[in-house]
Amino acid sequence: MKKRYLEVGKIVGTHGVKGMTRVQVWADSPDFLKEFKYLYTNETGSDKLTVLKVQPHGNISLVAFKGVDTIEHAESFRNTVLYIDRQDVKLPEGRYFITDLIGITVYDADTNAVLGEICDVSQTGANDVWHIKKDGREYLIPAISDVLVSVDIDGEKAIIRPLKGIFDDED
């Protein structure tokens, strides 16, 4: 079952004296937080912060929240993990939340053989890399168009055409 509230970053400090926070964003870009009116401080969505301003600043975002207007108040949120409501996001075709990929069964497009299960995803900059585990071994698969055939998050199934030599012992 998909989680409704997803981790999107963590408040790692303050900026200035008027309550601005420094947020380490766990997304493709610090700009991602600009899409949201609310961020949540727990995975149930019961504690909500209203976003007033998001300003990308290098590899983090500076975020101002309604009612947080002193450095002391902002400091009280240090190390708080922030969540978004999945329903507030419209991902482009071919983009997925990492949390939704974990646990998906991966099949070979040509043989329909089970290649394993996605256990992790690394973000390398150029492309994501899927970690696929089977029989105690872990295989690294580049998540690129030459390899990915289809991904069905709801059906918990991904079909790939692996590069030669990854799943066999060829040279």
Of residues 33 and 1, more confidence is placed in 33
pLDDT, average across residues 52-73: 94
Total domains in the chain come to 2
Residue with tokens 């912060």: 49
Please report, as a single letter, which amino acid is at residue 125: G
Confirm whether 19 is domain-assigned. yes
Residues 9 and 81 in one domain: yes
**How many Å from the N-terminal Cα to the C-terminal Cα in the chain?**
40
pLDDT reported for residue 1: 62
0.85 cut: is pTM over it?
no
Confidence at 27, pLDDT banded by 50, 70, 90: confident
Confirm whether 93 is domain-assigned. no
Residues 117 and 80 in one domain: no
Per the structure, the complete domain to which residue 153 belongs is given by 98-160
pLDDT reported for residue 171: 44
Confidence at 170, pLDDT banded by 50, 70, 90: very low
Assess whether pLDDT exceeds 90 at residue 167: no
Contact indicator for 79, 33 with CB cutoff of 8 Å: no
